[in-house]
Amino acid sequence: MSIFAKKPPIGGGSLARARVSAQVATRLEANPAIRKAKVENAQVYYYPGFLDDRDCDTLIRLIDTNRRPSTLLAASDDPYFRTSESCDLDRWSPEVRPIDERMANLIGVPPEHGETMQGQRYAPGQQFRAHYDWFAENQDYWAAMKASGGQRTWTAMIYLNDVEEGGATWFPQAGVRVAPKRGLLLAWNNMKPDGAPNPATLHEGTPVVKGVKYIITKWFREHPWINMPIQTY
């Protein structure tokens, strides 16, 4: 390789990533239960009532039982960057597995491309500051992420309860703001149509003001995900 060949700063597109972008978008747009956010620079979709009350309550109970302080993949100087609590939800448990598979089927990606479903709980004042779900391919962590399934393609998130005040998910560059609503699934493409990471997917879990916010998040990789001892979030 020439010494002048420079690594792309955050990662590039590929035919395979572009194909996933298009296939998933087509699938979601064909689903009559789903609406698309009317923005130009990102693909964001809403599915109200994806989970019923019973499933939401089951997941809330599991999160309350297993929660621990949330972590970050890349170190941050800001101690308040991600102040929520999280847990991994066992995809093989009889309570989680059907939900996990329904989510993969909705997106149209094989379940093995999905990372472990993650539960999150935000008490008043807790937040997850602006970040990308895709991996920056010029960072130290990328080698491990590349080996464990590669880039994150789509994210699917479900709000498990209504929050009295605050806790919206905000995409400042795309201009999308979603208030938590029990059972609502939010899905977005972390890539641009050409498969390169999309900077307009920058998003933030804004602070909860009143009440408690419970969500689950599922990140899909471009290849089957390999569970490594390294934390991926």
* Residue from 133, 176, 180, 220 in contact with Fe ion (CB under 5 A): 133
Interface with ligand AKG includes 158 (CB under 6 A)?
no
Site string for ligand AKG, 193-222 (x = CB under 6 A): ----------x-x---------x-x-----
Q: Are 130 and 203 in contact (CB under 8 A)?
A: yes
Minimum Å distance from CB 131 to Fe ion? 6
Query: Is the CB of 6 or the CB of 59 nearer to Fe ion?
Result: 59
Residue 111 or 166: the one with the smaller Cβ distance to ligand AKG is 166
Check residue 113 for interaction with ligand AKG (CB under 6 A). no
Q: Which is nearer to Fe ion, 47 or 233 (CB)?
A: 233
Binding-residue total with Fe ion (CB under 5 A)? 1
Q: How far apart are CA 207 and CA 217, in angstroms?
A: 17
Q: Between residues 120 and 189, which has the closer beta carbon with respect to ligand AKG?
A: 120
Q: What is the DSSP string of 31-80?
A: -TT-EE---SS--EEEETTSS-HHHHHHHHHHHHHH-EE---SS--S-TT
Q: Let me know the angle formed at the C-alpha of 70 by 55 and 114, rounded to the nearest 5 degrees.
A: 55
Q: What is the DSSP letter of 197?
A: B
Tokens of 218: 């599922």
169 in contact with ligand AKG (CB under 6 A) = yes
Would you say 204 and 130 are in contact if contact means Cβ atoms under 8 Å apart? yes
Residue among 100, 133, 137, 222 that touches ligand AKG (CB under 6 A): 133
Q: Which residue is nearest to Fe ion (CB)?
A: 133
Closest to ligand AKG by CB, 120 or 161: 120
Q: How far apart are CA 193 and CA 195, in angstroms?
A: 5
User: Taking the complex as a whole, how short is the minimal distance between the CB of residue 30 and ligand AKG, in angstroms?
Assistant: 26
What angle, 0 to 180 degrees and rounded to 10, lies between the N-to-C axes of helices 15-29 and 97-107? 100
Pairing of strands 128-131, 203-205: antiparallel
Distance of closest approach, residue 215 Cβ to ligand AKG, in angstroms = 5
Dihedral pair phi/psi, residue 90, rounded to 5° = -65, 110
Question: Nearer to Fe ion by C-beta: 55 or 133?
Answer: 133
What one-character DSSP code corresponds to residue 186? E
For binding to ligand AKG (CB under 6 A), which residues are involved? 120, 128, 133, 169, 203, 205, 215, 217
For binding to Fe ion (CB under 5 A), which residues are involved? 133
